[in-house]
């Protein structure tokens, strides 16, 4: 019976939309909520583990979305006379 309640708590804690479908803002908001819950310290151990794991997935989602956004941002390049000549990555690697 105790094992069932642990599984139920984990399932309940990890419930929510698939991380891969969340926008940056939605993922960040959920991640902030998880951090607040964990910092409060009043979440049962099994649920803490489950929401921590979801938090890790949310963090990776945010990092991936930020990486995609950075790749799309470009700076305007100029020639010696200051005329625009095209674009270049914001932070060339």
User: How many residues are given for the chain?
Assistant: 93
Q: What is the rounded end-to-end Cα distance, in angstroms, of the chain?
A: 55
CA distance linking residue 39 with residue 2, whole number of Å: 25
Residue 34: predicted pLDDT: 97
User: Is the pTM above the cut of 0.75?
Assistant: no
CA distance linking residue 33 with residue 72, whole number of Å: 29
Give per-residue pLDDT as tens, 24-83: 999 999 999 999 999 999 999 999 999 999 999 999 999 999 988 877 776 667 777 878
Neighbours of 29 (CB within 10 A): 13
Residue 74: predicted pLDDT: 64
Residue 90: predicted pLDDT: 65
Mean per-residue pLDDT for 16-31?
A: 95
Burial of residue 46, with CB atoms counted within 10 A of its CB: 0-12 exposed, 13-18 middle, 19 or more buried: middle
Query: Domain spans of the chain?
Result: 2-89
């Amino acid at each position: 019976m105790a094992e069932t309640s642990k599984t139920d708590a984990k399932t309940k804690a990890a419930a929510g939309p698939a991380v891969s479908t969340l926008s940056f803002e939605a993922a960040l908001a959920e991640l902030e909520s998880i951090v607040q819950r964990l910092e409060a310290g009043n979440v049962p151990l099994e649920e803490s583990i489950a929401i921590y794991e979801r938090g890790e997935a949310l963090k990776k989602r945010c990092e991936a979305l930020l990486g995609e956004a950075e790749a799309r941002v470009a700076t305007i390049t100029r020639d010696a006379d200051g005329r625009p000549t095209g674009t270049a990555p914001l932070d060339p690697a």
